[in-house]
């Protein structure tokens, strides 16, 4: 994460950064070079006795098969017979023989400058437990719990029940907590340390963004079109209020996305979002907001290019009467190149957001009130094992004049 001038680190010399990062890299490589052949693989690979590469390449990025597997309720096909289940003698009860569990562990070492210089050992950065699988022929579930997230117990993020083929139609429904942006690009599966900033953008005191929220989402396949419609609280994944409700609004927020392959190499999508948010307490000012945008994925051989653009308007983001309307525009372009051996990869990511007023908060460690966010990052990595990835990345924040170097590891077992 890029540090800011208003959060100045303890000064150290630039040579100290080089020594610290070099020592981390050398120690890491020596450790990995002596590692034994391990058989520990995540829950779904254990169940089906296949390589993690079938669904992820590299972890956690999904392959086309992995997307289909998840869409089928974590089955090879929606119609497959039950496997690894207990015969309870009750045709209405299907229980897994073993509860599927997996662990993800992320650790990083960083050097950064933002007027001064510093280093940070973020070891670990994240530690979470995941579980998912079928409940019946058409029902499945998925959740994960952050045991450790940037020094705190992070709690539940994704947690939903999934129903396939409602009424025999190609319509799937998820009920629970999930990321609104998932039909466009999945933040949790990106290869970069740098985030997709536009999905996190919040304006003023308005809590709605395109990350986690509680709701109901339906996905329909109509010919070559994929349609997603989602009903949301619009409050994010925060705690319930004193009355035990997460949202007191009569009107829920709405999100819709439509995508279609244009050619064998190009997919295009469009999105829309509408919401109304009331101020907590006795406030009588509502904020109406809407978003519209487009996204694409272009594959050229071993190169994948992803892009997102979103326009947003809020008419009272600080819940103040007669405040001016705030317009926000932003997006990202991402490039991923997989080398021929399937183990080395390179990435680049450009983020930019503009807002009319200094009320922009992207929740990435910067000042809470800025008008423009712009970052550039580039890096790459190596798949040491199918479930163990090494990575390195350089990031530059052009607005805050900050730089970041990151070395790290991502593993799941």
52-67 burial: b if 16+ Cβ within 10 Å, else e: bbbbbbbbbbbeeebe
Q: Please tell me the predicted confidence (pLDDT) of residue 116.
A: 82
Q: Please tell me the predicted confidence (pLDDT) of residue 337.
A: 97
The set of residues, in sequence order, having a beta carbon less than 8 Å from that of 257 and lying 6+ positions away, is: 183, 184, 227, 228, 269, 270, 271, 272
Q: Please tell me the predicted confidence (pLDDT) of residue 2.
A: 37
pTM: 0.83
How far is residue 389's CA from residue 412's CA, in Å, rounded to a whole number? 9
Q: Please tell me the predicted confidence (pLDDT) of residue 35.
A: 35
Residues 156-202: tens digit of each pLDDT: 999 999 998 898 899 999 999 999 999 999 999 999 999 999 999 98
pLDDT score of 265 more than 50: yes
Q: HSE (CB half, 13 Å, CA atoms) of 383? A: 22
Rounded average pLDDT over 274-290: 81
Q: Please tell me the predicted confidence (pLDDT) of residue 26.
A: 41
DSSP characters for 292-331? Answer: EEEEEEEEETTEEEEEEEEEEEES-TT--TTPPPEEEEEE
Residues 56-74: tens digit of each pLDDT: 778 788 777 777 777 777 7
Do β-strands 286-300 and 266-278 pair in parallel, antiparallel, or remain unpaired? Answer: antiparallel
Measuring CA to CA, which residue among 372, 5, 385, 348 is closest to residue 193? 348
Q: Please tell me the predicted confidence (pLDDT) of residue 78.
A: 62
Residues 119-160: tens digit of each pLDDT: 999 999 999 999 988 888 889 999 999 998 888 898 999 999
Q: Please tell me the predicted confidence (pLDDT) of residue 34.
A: 36
pLDDT score of 279 more than 80: no
* Cβ atoms of 144 and 129 closer than 8 Å: yes
Residue found under tokens 């129903």: 163
Q: Please tell me the predicted confidence (pLDDT) of residue 91.
A: 84
How far is residue 413's CA from residue 411's CA, in Å, rounded to a whole number? 7
User: Given pLDDT bands bounded at 50, 70 and 90, which one contains residue 82?
Assistant: low
Q: Please tell me the predicted confidence (pLDDT) of residue 103.
A: 92
CA 89 to chain centre: 40
DSSP characters for 133-146? Answer: EESSSSEEEEEEEE
More reliable by pLDDT, 249 or 262: 262
């Amino acid at each position: 994460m890029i540090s800011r001038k208003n959060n100045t680190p303890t000064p150290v010399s630039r040579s100290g950064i080089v020594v610290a990062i070099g020592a981390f890299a050398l120690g890491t490589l020596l450790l990995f070079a002596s590692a034994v052949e391990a058989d520990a693989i995540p829950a779904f690979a254990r169940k089906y006795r296949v390589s993690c590469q079938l669904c992820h390449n590299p972890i956690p990025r999904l392959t086309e098969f992995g997307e289909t597997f998840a869409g089928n309720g974590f089955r090879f096909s929606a119609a497959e017979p039950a496997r690894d289940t207990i015969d309870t003698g009750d045709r209405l009860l299907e229980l897994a023989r073993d509860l599927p569990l997996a662990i993800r562990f992320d650790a990083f070492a960083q050097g950064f400058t933002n007027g001064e210089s510093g280093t940070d050992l973020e070891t670990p950065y994240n530690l979470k437990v995941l579980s998912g699988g079928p409940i019946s022929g058409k029902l499945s579930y998925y959740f994960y719990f952050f045991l450790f997230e940037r020094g705190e117990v992070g709690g539940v993020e994704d947690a939903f029940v999934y129903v396939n083929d409602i009424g025999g139609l190609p319509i799937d429904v998820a009920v629970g907590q999930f990321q609104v942006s998932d039909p466009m690009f999945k933040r949790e599966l990106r290869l970069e340390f740098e985030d997709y900033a536009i999905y996190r953008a919040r304006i003023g005191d308005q809590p709605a963004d395109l990350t986690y929220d509680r709701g109901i989402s339906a996905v329909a396949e109509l010919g070559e079109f994929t349609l997603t419609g989602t009903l949301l609280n619009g409050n994010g994944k925060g705690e319930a209020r004193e009355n035990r409700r997460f949202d007191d609004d009569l009107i829920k927020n709405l999100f819709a996305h439509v995508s279609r392959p244009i050619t064998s190499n190009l997919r295009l999508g469009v999105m829309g979002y509408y919401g109304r948010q009331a101020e907590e307490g006795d406030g009588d000012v509502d904020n109406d907001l809407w978003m519209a945008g487009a996204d694409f994925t272009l594959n050229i051989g071993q190169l994948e290019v992803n892009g997102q653009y979103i326009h947003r308007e809020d008419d009272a983001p600080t819940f103040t009467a007669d405040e001016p309307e705030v317009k926000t525009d932003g997006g990202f372009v991402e490039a991923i190149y997989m080398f021929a051996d399937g183990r080395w990869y390179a990435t680049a990511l450009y983020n930019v957001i503009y807002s009319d007023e200094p009320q922009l908060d992207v929740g990435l460690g910067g000042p809470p009130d800025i008008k423009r966010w712009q970052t550039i990052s580039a890096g790459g990595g190596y798949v040491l094992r199918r479930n163990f990835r090494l990575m390195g990345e350089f990031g530059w924040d052009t607005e805050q004049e900050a730089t970041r170097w990151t070395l790290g590891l991502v593993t799941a077992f």
